[in-house]
Amino acid sequence: MNQDLDRTNARSAPAADGAFDRPDVDPTEIRNEMERIRHSHSMSGCNRLLQLLNFVVESTLRGDASHLKETTIGVEVFGRSPDYDPKVDTIVRSQAWRLRTKLRKYYSSEGMNDPLVIDIPTGQYVPSFHARDHVEIG
């Protein structure tokens, strides 16, 4: 995500579809990281972005990562009708871009020593979780 993350020697892999099966990252730690992000200065006043982040993270932890499509997010997070056209209404893509930007800002400042990094790689909505080797989780 940025130079600070490269220096951490983070173990990184996208979350798998189906049941959450990442022995290197505990779902409780992911939720703890979500709380740190939620209460951060970087995300202050960004309720819609936090809703988006919460939706994609919780969907992944439930094993529903394969359902994280633009249309689904538009309906579930942004209240669009099931027949909305994401080619015309780009709310999901634009908000995902904003969220990625805010997460980079968070992890380059107040979250730089967090034991876990939550990332949403460009071109997808399935989050990845990076346990940093230099910080002990727990």
Summarised one tens digit per residue, pLDDT across range 53-90 is 999 999 999 999 999 999 999 999 999 999 999 999 99
- Distance (Å, whole) CA 129 – CA 126: 10
For 47, counting Cβ atoms within 10 Å of its Cβ (0-12 exposed, 13-18 middle, 19+ buried), the class is exposed
Residue ranges of the chain whose pLDDT lies below 70: 1-23, 134-138
pLDDT for the residue 43: 96
Question: 44: part of which helix (H) or strand (E)?
Answer: none
- Distance (Å, whole) CA 17 – CA 58: 13
pLDDT for the residue 21: 65
- pTM greater than 0.75 (yes/no): yes
Beta strand pairing call for 116-119 and 11-14: unpaired
pLDDT for the residue 134: 58
pLDDT for the residue 25: 79
pLDDT for the residue 131: 84
Which residue matches tokens 């634009």?
94
- Distance (Å, whole) CA 23 – CA 119: 18
- Distance (Å, whole) CA 123 – CA 68: 12
